Amino acid sequence: MEKLIITGPTPLKGEVNINGAKNAAVAILPATLLINGVCTINNLPNISDVKISCEILEKLGAKITWVTPNEINIDTRNITTTKAPLDLTSKFRASYYIIGAMLGRKGEIEVGMPGGCKLGARPIDQHIKGFELLGANVTVEKGTINGKAKKLVGTNIYMDIVSVGATINIMLAAVLAEGTTIIDNAAKEPHIVDVANFLNTMGADIRGAGTDVIKINGVKELHGNSTYSVVPDQIEAGTFMLAAVATKGDLLIKNCITKHLDSITAKILEIGGNIEDYGDSIRVWCNKRPNKANIKTLPHPGFPTDLQPQMGVVLSLADGTSIINESIWESRFQYTEELNKMGAKITAQGKTAIFEGVPKLYGAPVYSTDLRAGAALIIAGTAAHGTTEVYNLEHIDRGYEHIEEKFRKIGAKIERVTE
Ligand code: EPU
């Protein structure tokens, strides 16, 4: 078993480079199934979710060549099966994108229910509703999803809730459908725009991604022969911004799109942090105890749920009492029990948590309960006095490339050891 040992407190200082976005990469990879050709994808984060996505594509018949740890050539001319390996697809959430992509490419798919972080119920009814409106028949039985479509035909789809996954999945299924699909009440996250940009580079006709109405004019085929670079990871950038504030540090966060970070920037200024925005990099520093603040997580451009635990660390150290309302996931406060072991005073009930700020956190053994909780515990360990041991690293490795190396480079005393 691996664990991280962190000795603090250390103010994080220096420069950090942001990788490509996990949640864009895990959608762009299955999107290559729609191409009858070869393409190159770079700025891929070197994380386990990307590696598993590639393994699934290979099992379906794609040929992948790793040019560097962050760049692949992928040849999807010869897709040999419509059965995705159940053991691999159950390992992470984004395996559901195989459904939209394979319905588009082959009109058929058999895949296991997706896995991923345990954040409460994670239904896929909106995905299925979209596929069925496009003309597919989808059944879910004994943990297996079967989809079949003789022909997909464009139509108007109104999403009952704003869903990142359903928006992208329906977009994938609609790209090669006959006629025009309109997705209304679509999600607007940067990775939705990125997947649309990727598909358009390969010959798709998608308009309006990034707004709440996306129009997809079906095309006959997508060509390869193009190179695409994955958008910088907004959540990784936000993680380091909040790490700078929590540790009273000073970080220049490079290779990001600062417009994607507006909701985080606004909160950091509200709690007394400092920001210099250079468009593709951002400096964040804080030399005092942060002020209290209230947060409500919302779909983009609201405050992202994927930064809620990292913000929770900051507010656990703030001057005064703060409230976080989690509006996306039922169960995203499991990390607060771990922070309480470190001296935080947090009371979480349902989708609300009250943070009575304490002046200091103290090192303790803690368990990451999901990906972003793990990142939050690393920040907490760096800000805390004494030694923190973080367990369950497999969650963190799913979404952050070389996280301990990045923290070490900016001053953290952190090492990974195998027990
Ligand atoms: N929902 C439904 N029905 C559906 C789909 C979603 O009721 O068919 C509900 C969910 O239960 C949730 C809300 O709608 O309450 C939003 O879910 P969404 O579909 O937007 O989430 P997702 O696509 O499953 C992605 C990210 C998550 C991130 C959310 C919200 C990927 C692979 N995952 O999940 O990322 O929290 O959007 O922004 O893109 C993470 O990276 O740590 C992570 C959990």
- Asked if 54 is an active-site residue, the reply is no
In tens, the pLDDT along 396-414 reads: 999 999 999 999 999 999 9
Asked whether the predicted pLDDT for residue 171 surpasses 70, the reply is: yes
For atom 40 of ligand 1, the residue with the nearest CA is 306
Q: Which member of 39, 54, 117, 286 is catalytic?
A: 117
Residues 309-328 pLDDT 10s: 999 999 999 999 999 999 99
Ligand 1 lined by 363 (C-beta under 6 Å): no
CB of 41 shorter than 6 A to ligand 1: no
Pick from 89-103, 247-261, 269-283: least confident: 89-103
> Which structure tokens are listed for 88?
């691999």
Query: Distance from the CA of 275 to the center of ligand 1, in angstroms?
Result: 29
pLDDT single digits (tens) 128-163: 999 999 999 999 998 899 999 999 999 999 999 999
Ligand 1 atom with least separation from CA of 119: 44
Q: Decide: residue 286, CB within 10 A, 0-12 exposed, 13-18 middle, 19+ buried.
A: buried
Q: What per-residue confidence (pLDDT) applies to 117?
A: 67
Cβ of 163 closer than 6 Å to ligand 1, yes or no, is: yes
Q: What is the pTM of this model?
A: 0.97
CB 61 within 8 A of CB 81: yes
Residue in 163, 235, 300 to alter for ligand 1 test, most ligand atoms within 8 A of Cβ = 163
What pLDDT does residue 14 have?
98
Identify the pLDDT of residue 203: 96
In this prediction, residue 93 carries a pLDDT of 81
Q: Is 305 in the pocket of ligand 1 (CB under 6 A)?
A: yes
